[in-house]
Structures are given as C-alpha cells and as structure tokens.
Amino acid sequence: MAEPIAGYWQNYIDGQFVDGSAGRLVVDDPATGGALAEQALADAGDVDRAVAAARRCHLSGSLSSLRPVERGRMVQAMGDYLLAHIDEIAPVLTLESGKPLWESRIEIEGAARYFEYYGHQAETVEGRSIPLGDGYFDFTVHEPYGVSAQVIPWNYPLEMTARSLSAALATGNACVIKTPELDPLSSNYIARAAEAAGLPRGALNIICGYGHEAGAALSSHPGVDQIVFTGSVATGRAIARAAAGNVVPCILELGGKSGAIVHADADIEDLVSNVRWGIFFNAGQVCSAMSRLIVHESIHDEVVDAVSAMAKSLSVGPGIERPEFGANMGAMVSAKQRDRAVTMCAQAGRDGGRAVTGGHAMNCPGHFLEPTVFDQITPEMAIAREEVFGPVLSVLKFTGDDEAIAIANSTDYGLVGGVFTRDLDRATRVARRMRAGQIFVNEWYAGGVETPFGGYGKSGYGREKGREALWNYVQTKNIAIRLGA
C-alpha cells in the first residue's frame, strides 16, 4: 500500500513553488468521494505573473538562444526524472484521478516518452536556403513563438501536459501550463523535473486554477503568443475566440465519437482485446476511445456476446488496489462525469438501445460506473452521436461497406477511426474514406508518439504528436540578403 501523500501542493511560477492568490482547492479521491489533498489555486494575478515570467525568459534568450542539442538534453532529462520517480508519482496520479495504479504507470511512461521523443527532435528543426539568383542569399529560420499557453484536461493530466510541453520547450518556447482542477497534484512533479533538468527560470510555469477564471485569463492574455487546448468542444470554442481576440494561433484537440468497423472476416478474439483497451482503458475517459462498434450483421450476435462477456469480467474498484496490469477498471474522475454518463445510458434505453451489460452507477462509495455495452443502437440516437467519455460501448449493425462507412462518418466528430478485417485491400479503401485524423487497422491505438494525431470536424484542428507537432510551436522567418557586386 502506498504512503499517504502530501496534504498541500503548490503552483510553480518563475522557478519558485508558490501559494495561490485564490487560496486553496480541495482535490477529491474519486475512488472514495472523500478529500485527498489541497492544491494552491491561482487567480488572474497569478496568471499575469506566470505569463510575465515566461515572457522574461523568452526575451532573455536563456531558452531560445541555446544550441538546440542543449535544450533537447534538458527536455530528455525531464522524462528521465519522471521515470526515476515513477513509484512516487503513480499513487498520487491514481488517488487524484481514479485510474488503476498500473494505468498511472503507463501514463507516466507515456509522459516520459514525449520528453524523450521531442528532446531528440530539438536539433532537427532546420531551415532551408531558397535560390534567388546570383545577387541574393536567402534562407529561412524557424523561431519559437515566445510564450506558449497550454490548458490541460483531467483524463491524462501528465501525458497531455508532456505532449505539448515537450515540443514547445524543444523548439524554445517558454510555457505556462493550466492544470485541471480535478487532478492537478501530480503535475507538481513536472515542475520538479524542470528543476532537476536545469531548465532556465521562467521557462516552465505550472498553475492550477478554475477554467473559467485562470483558464480564461490565460487564454485571453495579451502576453501569450500561442495556445494549445485539449478538452471539450464548448471550451474549445471559448479558447478559439480568445485566441482570435489576440490574433494568436491555437491548436484544438477536442472530443470524439470514434467508430471501429468490424468486417465479417475479422478475428473476433483479437477484436475483443482491442475493445477492452479501446473503451475500458481509463474507464473510457479517452478522447480517442472506441465508443462505437460498427459490426457486420453476419457476426453481430457473436461479437456482442464476446464483448459483453469481456466487459462483465472486468473487476471494478479503487485504482490504488489495482497495481497489476489486468482485467480491471477504476473509478470515473468525478460524480459529475459519472452521473452524466448514467443519464446518457438511461436515455439510450428510452431511445430503444438494449443494455446487454451495465448502464448503471455501482452501488458503492466512489464514482464507479459499470462497464457497459449497448446493443441495437442506430446512428441517429444520442448515444451514437454524443461523447459519453465513460466506459460505454455502442454496438451498431451494418450490411454493406458503404453503409458501414456512412455510419462511421455520421457524427460531427472525426478524431480517430478503425477497421478490422483480414482483407487489406478492403481496409485500405475503407481507411481512405473515413473522415478522421488517424485510422487504426486491426489494432485500436496503433501508432505512437511518432505519429501525428488530431481531429477532423468538431474534433478540432492542428496536429499534436509526431514531427507535425513541431510546426505548431515555431514561426518561419525568411531572410533575403542582397549581395554587393
């Protein structure tokens, strides 16, 4: 059993751990519903101080003027710090977020992987020389925007922070991170990682505050040069408006209602394992979750039986008691998120969906929802169109390929999609016609930190991960020199 965690956690501004000017926030343990610890709460004044510190850092050149390999090494060292402290960080993340301890370890490893990857990319950002004839010498340089503001969601607080922060630092931007109010504590270790790595003062500032206060103040701050947001569509719109107000670019990573098309020749045992990860990992609180299974009629009943049996086999309970990788699931992050999912399940039942298993809150303390599989879902039902952001799978049936693709493309979202078949010609044709930023063939979540990720439609715009993401954080300058005779 883990040691008790610290009772109070501070923000990090200009190289100092500081209290919040808005006081303290009580962070709950979703597995019990009880108080876990207190977190310093930032107000708009703290946001000002953090942005000013980042701006000073940027203007001083202490980060942006470094030789890229030196910045890259510091970024990599931050990941090394997280891995070296994984035993300490994992219980904090589990207690504040509800996820099983083994999932927290995967998240910390994932966060470290971003620092490794983008640390290595730092020295690959090169300009080019454009020929203009004998009388000129012309070249491009990629310069950091300056101050990058990053507003983080609660589902993967460390991994989402690492994703944007590592690329932003590697390219020489000073950063201000707004952590999620539901699980801000473990982000403290990212500040400690920055200290251990010797990052210049002000290069990283991490503050927790309410979204509508600190988040809104940060995203509309005139001292911010670029914004990265991951979260809901509603907040994404507010962020985009704030960015437009200051004429700065923003990257929006919003939600999804992603579908996997399952053809008659799919390997069902393999599919079940993909569904296990696709919709029950992190209790389904994953933007790219496999929330719709679009199954060929010939194997529909067999798939529903197999998937429901798997869902029933998951042991659901406190994440801290689940240290080992296995068939288990933790609590949802909050009562509000869990109750919203329960309401959506009840509506799905009224709309004609059949809960083959689950659909209810669990009768115990904490914010648990039964692993849920709905059958007899049709594309126009709310449960097939709206993101539940919980462990709730909707199964839909199709007859022909065109119908399957039409169903897959029938939501406003377009984050990811999948196709399961042994026929790679068919898979390729289907993948080309799916409207989503990332398509998985025969393995949900195939890809990695190296592969670009981001949405079509209401899932947002811009790409994170991979080499693509580097271009979010730099602006191109062209320098043309007229040569003397």
Least Å from the CB of residue 284 to ligand NAP: 11
Angle at CA of residue 211, ends 205 and 216, nearest 5°: 80
Which CB atom, from 107 or from 387, has the smaller least distance to ligand NAP? Answer: 387
The conformation of residue 386, written as its DSSP 8-state character, comes to S
Is residue 287 part of the contact set for ligand NAP (CB under 6 A)?
Answer: yes
Site string for ligand NAP, 197-216 (x = CB under 6 A): -------------xxx--xx
In this chain, which stretch among 47-55, 83-91, 168-176, 179-187 interacts with ligand NAP, using CB under 6 A?
179-187
Which CB atom, from 202 or from 284, has the smaller least distance to ligand NAP? Answer: 284
The Cα–Cα gap between 60 and 64 comes to: 8
Report residue 125 as tokens: 């950002």
In this structure, the strands spanning 226-230 and 147-151 are: parallel
| 175 flagged as catalytic | no
Which CB atom, from 289 or from 304, has the smaller least distance to ligand NAP? Answer: 289
Is residue 231 part of the contact set for ligand NAP (CB under 6 A)?
Answer: yes
Phi-psi sector, 452: left (phi>0), alpha (psi -120 to 50), beta: beta
Is residue 238 part of the contact set for ligand NAP (CB under 6 A)?
Answer: yes
Is residue 230 part of the contact set for ligand NAP (CB under 6 A)?
Answer: yes
The Cα–Cα gap between 78 and 167 comes to: 12
Cα 78 vs. chain centroid, distance in angstroms?
19
| 380 flagged as catalytic | no
387 Cβ contact list (under 8 Å, min separation 6): 255, 256, 257, 291, 413
Catalytic residue among 57, 250, 287, 345: 287
Is residue 107 part of the contact set for ligand NAP (CB under 6 A)?
Answer: no
Least Å from the CB of residue 446 to ligand NAP: 17
Catalytic residue among 253, 370, 387, 464: 253
User: How many residues line the site for ligand NAP (CB under 6 A)?
Assistant: 27
Which CB atom, from 174 or from 332, has the smaller least distance to ligand NAP? Answer: 332
Question: Could you tell me if 297 and 399 are in contact, meaning their C-beta atoms sit under 8 angstroms apart?
Answer: yes
Least Å from the CB of residue 462 to ligand NAP: 10
Among the listed residues 158, 72, 45, the one whose alpha carbon sits nearest the alpha carbon of residue 112: 158
Is residue 232 part of the contact set for ligand NAP (CB under 6 A)?
Answer: yes
The Cα–Cα gap between 333 and 312 comes to: 21
Q: In what order do the strands lie in the sheet with 147-151?
A: 16-18, 11-13, 204-208, 174-179, 147-151, 226-230, 250-253, 460-461
In this chain, which stretch among 6-14, 103-111, 174-182, 423-431 interacts with ligand NAP, using CB under 6 A?
174-182
Which CB atom, from 161 or from 328, has the smaller least distance to ligand NAP? Answer: 161
Is residue 235 part of the contact set for ligand NAP (CB under 6 A)?
Answer: yes
In this structure, the strands spanning 474-482 and 290-296 are: unpaired
Contacts with ligand NAP by CB under 6 A lie at: 151-155, 178, 180-182, 210-212, 215-216, 219, 230-232, 235, 238-239, 253-255, 287, 387, 389
Could you give the residue numbers annotated as active site?
Answer: 253, 287
